[in-house]
Amino acid sequence: MGKQLGVLAMYMNKRHLEELSFFRKLCIIGERLGLEVLIFTPDDVHQNGTMIHTLTYRGTERRWVRKWSKFPPIIYDRCRYHGAVNFRKLSHFRKKYTKLRYISKPLANKWKMHQLLSEHPGIAPHLPATIRYREPRELGDFLKKHAVVYMKPKSGTGGRGIIRLQRVGGIPALLMQGRDPARRIIPARKITVEQIPLRLAGWKLNERYIVQQGIPLELKDGRVHDFRMLVQKDGDGEWQVTGCAGRIGPRQSVTSNLHGGGTAVAMETLLKKRFSSEQKVSEIRNEAYELGLRIALHLEKKFGPFCEAGLDLAVDPKGHVWLLEVNPKPSREVFNRIGEKETYRRAISRPLEYALWLIR
């Protein structure tokens, strides 16, 4: 019986797993490292509660294999929450199997995350001003201080339901654009602050939304951009910045997510486009890397050990680095898209190397 890592996933529509190609790569690299990767969902637990019907990819045979196994000692949680049913299944699973050791976990919603990170004097200056959405009047006051603000759901990924508001002349006139909860682009239109609750009726703004100072993200052609940084534990249990890449959104989009049609570009390339001096580019890069490690260490103090986080960063026209968001279940596809094959391979292997270090 060799070393094993369980990957906790979710079926999207009955039998389809969301990240199958990523899981296949995990299995292949795991095989080389002497670690068997077993994928399963809460639906795959036998009624006796001790066995699971797992899926694994055998690289040597080039095929997927299903088999019954006991729970592996360490679990890599890759569940993304899609809908209430999956959320309930997952919560139930976690409550029942408390003895399992998770190397990844849900951290906190965007509001709680903002509060926790604000406590660190080395992180607070990198956080955009953020409030909870309560009523149009308060939003209007916030817009007097910040010419552009973003309204974001506290929980949610992939740019869904994000609204950008920009002052046009004086308040009350605003330009509103964004993406609806299904990620469709909402074209720019003029509205007043008072009209927002009606325009976004059914979005549960009071329960679900935060409002955040907008950092200028437009490039010369008007498209928005940001950076995705991946911080991970290595095979010695130490935090490292695996890589950082730029993302440029499609035209008329207020977000740069690759899922929403964004394109990926190397960090250096994007920075050199905006800042002429090599020294400035190098300073920004160092500031971003130091911030990434600081955030990982601070969150670990708050939540206990975990293996990775994706950080969405912005760099304003003066070169100051801002943290836009923390994602505890990051994708690593951005490195593949920019042709950084070695970074991409390392991004896949690091959680496996960390798991092996824990097992040892």
Domain identity same for 180 and 292: no
How many other CB atoms are found less than 10 A from the CB of residue 119? Answer: 11
Domain identity same for 259 and 278: yes
Q: What is the pLDDT of residue 260?
A: 63
Domain identity same for 238 and 186: no
Helix axes 278-303 and 110-118, enclosed angle (nearest 10): 100
Domain identity same for 208 and 251: no
Residue 230 has pLDDT above 90, yes or no: yes
User: What's 272's domain CATH number?
Assistant: 3.30.470.20
Q: What is the pLDDT of residue 173?
A: 84
Residue 1 has pLDDT above 70, yes or no: no
Residue 348 has pLDDT above 90, yes or no: yes
| Sheet bearing 148-153, strands edge to edge | 130-132, 209-213, 148-153, 163-167, 173-179, 185-192
Q: What is the pTM of this model?
A: 0.91
Mean pLDDT of the chain: 91
Per-residue pLDDT tens digits for 170-215: 667 899 998 888 888 888 999 999 999 988 888 888 888 999 999 9
Per-residue pLDDT tens digits for 54-81: 999 999 999 999 999 999 999 999 987 6
Our count of domains for the chain comes to 3
Per-residue pLDDT tens digits for 317-344: 999 999 999 999 999 999 999 999 999 9
Domain identity same for 191 and 323: no
The SS3 call for residue 71 is: coil
Domain identity same for 202 and 305: no
Mean pLDDT of 126-133: 96
Per-residue pLDDT tens digits for 139-156: 999 999 999 999 999 887
Mean pLDDT of 221-233: 92
Q: What is the pLDDT of residue 218?
A: 83
Domain identity same for 338 and 240: yes
Residue 259 has pLDDT above 90, yes or no: no
Domain-terminating residue out of 213, 243, 261: 213
Return d(Cα 247, Cα 223) in angstroms, integer.
10
Domain identity same for 242 and 293: yes
Residue 254 has pLDDT above 90, yes or no: no
Q: What is the pLDDT of residue 262?
A: 79
Domain identity same for 242 and 310: yes
The tokens describing 211, both together, are 């409002």
User: Which residue range forms the structural domain that includes residue 16?
Assistant: 3-102
Residue 160: pLDDT band with limits 50, 70, 90: confident
Domain-terminating residue out of 213, 242, 267: 213
pLDDT over 70, % of the chain: 95
Residue 244 has pLDDT above 60, yes or no: yes
Per-residue pLDDT tens digits for 77-124: 998 766 788 888 988 998 999 889 999 988 889 999 999 999 999 999
